[in-house]
Structure 1
Amino acid sequence: MSRMKVLGPKDYQRMPWKNGQGMTTEIARFPADGFGRFQWRVSIADVVSAGAFSAFTGYDRLIACIEGEGMTLTVDGGPPEAVAREAQPFFFSGDAAVTCDLIGGPTRDFNLIVDRARMGGDMIRLRGGENWAGGADDTIVLVYALRGSVQVHTGDAETRLTEDNTARIDGEAVAVTVGPGAEALISVVTVQDTAEDDGEV
C-alpha cells in the first residue's frame, strides 16, 4: 500500500511569523497537531518588507525564492547573501541572527526547517524536463508543484501534481519528473533520532 498523500491549499494553514513581522502558509509539519516543538516543517513565507527573521534555536533552515526578485540575507553580521528567484536553496542555522533586504519588492520564499538533533534536511529545485529520484526507509519526501505539471511515482502509486499541490511520501523510494515549463521544490527530511518530542518553540 502506498504511503503517498497529496495535500492541497485546503490542507495548508495560514499563520503569523513567530516574531509577528510577516505571514507563513504552513504546508506540513511533524508532529501535525501544532502544539510543542515540531521536528520538521515545510512552509511558504510572504516577505513584504525588510526586517528580521524569526529565531529557531536548535533548527537548521533551507530557503528558496519562488516569487518576486528575491532578497539578500545577512546572517550573524556576515556579508549579504542573495536568495534570488533562479538561485538554488540557501542553508543557514536557525540559531543565527538573520535580517533580510528585498531586492525588488515583495517576495515569497519556500522553507524547510528541521530539528538538527533529530532530522537532517535537504531541498532541491527542479525545472522543466529535469528528473529526481530518492527517498528511503528513513526519509520523508515532500514534492511541491510550484508551476505546471509534476509527475510523482512510488513503488505502487503515481500522481500528477498541479500548481500549489504537494505530495508527501513517507519511507519509500520516489521518482519525480517535471514537465515542460514546470517547476518543483523537493524537501527531503532524514530521520536521525526517533525519541519523543518535547519542549516548545
Structure 2
Amino acid sequence: MSPAPSQPFALADIAPTRWKNGGGNTREIAVWPPAAGMDDFIWRLSVADIERDGPFSAFPGIDRQIVLLDGAGVTLCADDGSFSHRLERVGEPFAFSGDTSLQAALLGGATRDFNVMTRRGHCRARVDAFHAAFAASTDSHALCLLAVRGAWQAKDAAMRLQAGEGALLRADGAAATLAFEPAGDAALCLCVTLDMEPGQ
C-alpha cells in the first residue's frame, strides 16, 4: 500500500501570527493532534521570522530543533547558562531543550528559522538537510519536506517542490520510499522524520 497523499503547503500561503512581544511572527505548518494548542501538542512544525532581539519562551517538557533558513543568523543564550549557540549556517539543525527560556540576539538583521517541537516521552524528531539527491521513507508517524533552495523533484511521484514549498506525509499502511533529486547547484531541502515513542 502506498503512503497517504501528501498535504502540500507553501510558506507564502500560511498566515503569520504576530508574537505578543512584537519581535517577530510565526507561521504554523502543522501540529499534532490537529488543532492542538501550545499546552497539549505532541509535535509542532513552524517557521518564524525574528525581527529584533528578544526572549524566547520556555516550553517545559519539549525538545526543540531550529534551522536557519535565511538571514545572517541569531545567537541563542539560555537564561540558566546551559548553552549559548550561534545559529549562522543555513540548513544546519541545532537541538536544545525547551525547559529553559532563552534570549535571541540577531547577528545582522532579520532572520527566518524553521522550528520543530516534540513533546518529550511522546514523540522524537530527526531533522536532515540535503544538498544532493536523497531518499526518504514514509514508515514513520509523519514526514515533512521543506524545499529551502532550488527545486526538488520526486523520481516516482508527481511531486515537485519549489523553494518555500513543502509537503507533509503520514503513513497509510506499508511504507514507501520517495527519492528526490535537486534542480540547481545551491539546492537545499529539509526532511523531518517524526516517530511516536513506544506506547503512544
* TM-score interval, normalised by the smaller of the two chains: 0.7 to 0.9
For residues 65-123 of structure 1, what are the alpha-carbon distances to aligned partners after superposition, in whole Å with 9 as ceiling and x for unaligned? Answer: 11110011112314521111336100001112211111111111111111112101111
In 1, the alpha carbon distance for the partners of 2:167 and 2:55 equals 31
What is aligned with 1:161? Answer: 161
Task: Report the secondary structure of 1:77's partner residue.
Answer: coil
The residue type paired with residue 30 of structure 1 is W
Among all aligned residue pairs of Structure 1 and Structure 2, give the percentage whose two residues are the same amino acid: 32
Q: Does residue 90 of the first structure (1) align with residue 88 of the second (2)?
A: no
What is aligned with 2:114? Answer: 110
Does the Cα contact within 8 Å between 2:8 and 2:167 map onto a contact in 1?
yes
Q: Does residue 54 of the first structure (1) align with residue 51 of the second (2)?
A: no
Of 110, 119, 126, the match for 1:122:
126
What is aligned with 1:185? Answer: 190
Q: How many residues align?
A: 191
What is aligned with 1:71? Answer: 74
Using the size of structure 1 for normalisation, the TM-score is 0.83
How far the C-alpha of 1:52 sits from its partner, in A, is: 1.0
For residues 124-152 of structure 1, what are the alpha-carbon distances to aligned partners after superposition, in whole Å with 9 as ceiling and x for unaligned? Answer: 1222xx13323343331100111221123
The residue type paired with residue 71 of structure 2 is G
What is aligned with 1:199? Answer: none
Closer, same or farther: CA 152–140 of 1 in aligned 2, 3 Å: farther
- Unaligned segments of structure 2, at least 5 residues: none
In 2, the alpha carbon distance for the partners of 1:58 and 1:20 equals 25
Closer, same or farther: CA 18–114 of 1 in aligned 2, 3 Å: farther
How far the C-alpha of 1:17 sits from its partner, in A, is: 3.9
Does the Cα contact within 8 Å between 1:14 and 1:24 map onto a contact in 2?
yes
In 2, the alpha carbon distance for the partners of 1:143 and 1:55 equals 26
- Cα root mean square deviation, aligned: 2.3
The residue type paired with residue 72 of structure 1 is T
Task: Report the secondary structure of 1:62's partner residue.
Answer: strand
Give 4+ residue runs of structure 1 displaced > 3 Å after superposition: 16-21
In 2, the alpha carbon distance for the partners of 1:73 and 1:56 equals 15
In 2, the alpha carbon distance for the partners of 1:79 and 1:166 equals 31
Using the size of structure 2 for normalisation, the TM-score is 0.83
In 2, the alpha carbon distance for the partners of 1:18 and 1:188 equals 30
In 2, the alpha carbon distance for the partners of 1:13 and 1:193 equals 35
For residues 40-63 of structure 1, what are the alpha-carbon distances to aligned partners after superposition, in whole Å with 9 as ceiling and x for unaligned? Answer: 111110111111112211111110
In 1, the alpha carbon distance for the partners of 2:9 and 2:75 equals 30
In 1, the alpha carbon distance for the partners of 2:60 and 2:11 equals 28
What is aligned with 2:40? Answer: 37
In 1, the alpha carbon distance for the partners of 2:178 and 2:43 equals 19
